[in-house]
Amino acid sequence: MAENRQKGFSFPGFFLFALIILIPVISIIIIKAPAILSSGKGKDFLLNTINKKIPGSISIESLNLSWKSGLEITGFSLKDGETSIVFGSLKTELSLLDLISAKKLDFGKTQMRDIYAKIYLDAIKDLPEKEVTAVKSPEPEKASGRFIILPRVFSGEIEIENANIMISRPDIKPARFTEISMKLFAKPEHKIFSFSTKGKASQDKLSGFFDVKGMMENFKDIMDFDPSGAKAEINATLKSVPTEGIDFLLKTDGLFEAAFGNNLNLETSISTDAGTANISLKADSPNFSADLTMDVTDESIRLLKEANIKCSVSPVLFKKIAKTAPFRLKNKTGVEATITKLEIPVRGHTGNPLSILYDTKLNAEIRAAGLSLADANDKYALTLDPLRLAVSGEQLGKKIIITAACRLSGPGSLDKGEISFDGVANNILKPEGLFNKESFSIKFNSGIEGVSVRELDRLFGTDRFLAAVMGETLNIKASADLRDMKGPVNLSIEGINANAVIPAYLNEGYLSLHDDIRAEIKVTPDLGRIVLKNINPLLITAVSAKKPVSVNISRDEFYLPLKNFSISNVTVKEAAVELGEITLDNGGILSPLVAFLKSTSGQNTTARFTPLKASLRKGTARYSRMDTIIANSFHTVTWGTIDISNDKLDIILGLTSDTLDKVFDLEDLPEDYILEIPIRGSTANPKVDWSKAAAKIGTLFLKKKIDEKVPGLGTAIDGLFNKSDKDDDSEDNSPGSILIDSLNKWLEDQGD
């Protein structure tokens, strides 16, 4: 009988029986799950499970869940050390089933009240600059111009009342956003969506409010809002809103405060219809004000009326927006801009931001007051005040017309200069936003008037050279017609003491000449002490002249590098200098020269110079013979080289036969005879070998006296003691032969 019972057992039957029992149980558990989780023990289980998986902790006073009739939470609290969020109650008609399925988010009527949030941020630290990389172009199918607003099936009415947020950071005062109320309303079946939010904002002693509201209709769905068939209206008002709080929320590292000041007033309205968005914006703050009206389409952003923008640019803001600039802003600068035309293309550009400029249309004028710039070491400081810059173009990548004017000054300058610029640049960018080096061209005329030359000396590191030549101020007119940075550059320079015409040609970073340089320079003590000493050591004491010095520099083989400039890299094949008659102060080497010539001189001495020809290669100047008549009596000559790079002299000062005859009564010297006196040392401290000169004159004088007693004997002795290594005593005209012949002749005369 037991055997019969065992044979009657069926496993499939048992499984079916168990399943019949379990399905109702599981169904009951699932149905009752919201109630179970809403109970005290269920809520504790749920919170313990969540808290084990998140940083921080969550607590809830009460929880009421339902699969279909909505959710309700009271006494919610979240704390994680950096954030604290508490709200009094949340009640929604969104069912738990809809929330889990995520296929439909029908919130019905949802209310959230009494929210208090505290967010603690770390102090801002200077981070290393990140390398900027080009953004890849979006794929065509993703560049639809649409944007996500809310999930596709969102519907219902959400209301938030009395939300309060405090954001704190150790290095600044806390920012508070209080009494915030927000409403969202969406009915996708009627294609309507609206929102509004308002509240107060405060920080330290500043307080203000914000009010934002908007409505959209006639869209396909909320996820894919398409402006071509939708309408929208958005209005926003901000009054005295602390900008540090905005920087907190947007994590912009102080950019808003640097740009706008400590608070911001803003009124803006946006309306869209038939694919066009009309935007009106008025902003006012301690550092910024603007009034803009524009429209936006899938194709472009276009300014509808003249826009006026005023801002105060601080050194901090300049550093944030121009981190790689080679100079810095020294002080706060007022900038005004008037824009009469602006049209920026939206489609067709690459990831390179400059590609947007290629087809941009612009007509704008910028004015700045008190603009002062300096390099990182404060070595070169310039003030441009006021500055006016006008820029226009129908395609900025292809053609830009630029005009500019400003007053220029710098520390210690005696006068303020004025700069003007009028130019046209063509083929600046390629369509992808890269610089169009192959086809770039620019043509301009510019002028500089009354600029301090001392400042230019300081800027170019020329150590008073330009001031010595030009005087304290100068005027410059410049014009250029360059293609790929090659082409003619013409300069006309007029200073208090000099004027010059420089017809140059720019080619791959250096200047050549397409005609000779012609200049006239007034002689001054500074010119002699700093410039003329490099021509002739006598000129270090030059003080004045009857007429300006005339200079002509040949265009042949002229080379002047603009990058890494050094005098050792400058080449001048030939320069002609006409000095004329110059008054010299009784100093330098002139004083010992006059004393050597057994003459007396007063405070000044006149000297007449013949034209000089010179060349310059590898930092060394070579000078041809230049004759000088000193005090209308003494004839001297000079020639040789000056190593300008190392300031070393290798000059010969020559005394002619007529001077030696006049001073030392050496009348029998050949007409072309020159007594050579070496000059070494530096241009500032020339060393003249007067002892060698005196010894040579003594020899000549002795020769003369001997010849007077024994004709030819003095000449023979001089030839013997001054014989060069190449002389050959075996020849009949050797000093020894001459000496024997002279003695024989003397003996014969004595016999008669």
Instruction: Give the pLDDT score at 2.
Output: 46
Does any domain span residue 682?
A: yes
Tell me the sheet residues that pair with 722.
Answer: none
Tell me the average pLDDT across 554-565. 86
Alpha-carbon gap, residue 167 to 245, rounded angstroms? 8
Tell me the average pLDDT across 345-374. 82
Which of 102-116, 237-251, 310-324 has the lowest average pLDDT? 102-116
Burial code (b: 16+ CB inside 10 Å, e: under 16) for 540-559 equals: bbbbbbeebbebebbbeebb
Does any domain span residue 148?
A: no
**Pair of tokens at residue 573:** 């094949």
How far apart are the two ends of the chain, measured CA to CA in Å?
191
Tell me the average pLDDT across 592-616. 77
Closest C-alpha to 399, from 432, 357, 366:
357
Alpha-carbon gap, residue 414 to 406, rounded angstroms? 17
Are the CB atoms for 543 and 525 separated by under 8 Å? yes
Tell me the average pLDDT across 326-330. 80
Q: Domain span at residue 547?
A: 536-686
Instruction: Give the pLDDT score at 336.
Output: 92
Instruction: Give the pLDDT score at 480.
Output: 92
Angle between helices 40-51 and 11-38 (to 10 degrees): 90
For residue 233, pLDDT over 80 is answered with: yes
Burial code (b: 16+ CB inside 10 Å, e: under 16) for 247-286 equals: bbeeeeebbbbbbbbbbbbbbbbbbbeeeebebbbebbbe
Does any domain span residue 244?
A: no
Instruction: Give the pLDDT score at 362.
Output: 93
Tell me the average pLDDT across 632-649. 87
Does any domain span residue 565?
A: yes
Task: Grade residue 101 by pLDDT with cuts at 50, 70 and 90.
Answer: low
Closest C-alpha to 683, from 539, 542, 501, 562:
539
Instruction: Give the pLDDT score at 673.
Output: 85
Tell me the average pLDDT across 29-38. 60
Does any domain span residue 680?
A: yes
Instruction: Give the pLDDT score at 227.
Output: 56
pTM: 0.66
pLDDT single digits (tens) 174-222: 878 888 898 888 776 656 778 889 988 888 788 888 899 988 776 555 5
Does any domain span residue 372?
A: no
Rg (the chain; Cα; Å) = 46
Main-chain dihedrals φ then ψ at residue 53, nearest 5 degrees: -105, -5
Tell me the average pLDDT across 306-318. 89
Instruction: Give the pLDDT score at 215.
Output: 85
Task: Grade residue 290 by pLDDT with cuts at 50, 70 and 90.
Answer: very high
Task: Grade residue 310 by pLDDT with cuts at 50, 70 and 90.
Answer: very high
Are the CB atoms for 257 and 247 separated by under 8 Å? yes
**What total number of domains does the chain contain?**
1
Does any domain span residue 376?
A: no
pLDDT single digits (tens) 449-493: 887 787 777 766 777 888 888 888 888 899 999 988 889 999 999
Does any domain span residue 596?
A: yes
Instruction: Give the pLDDT score at 364.
Output: 94
Closest C-alpha to 597, from 679, 653, 639:
653
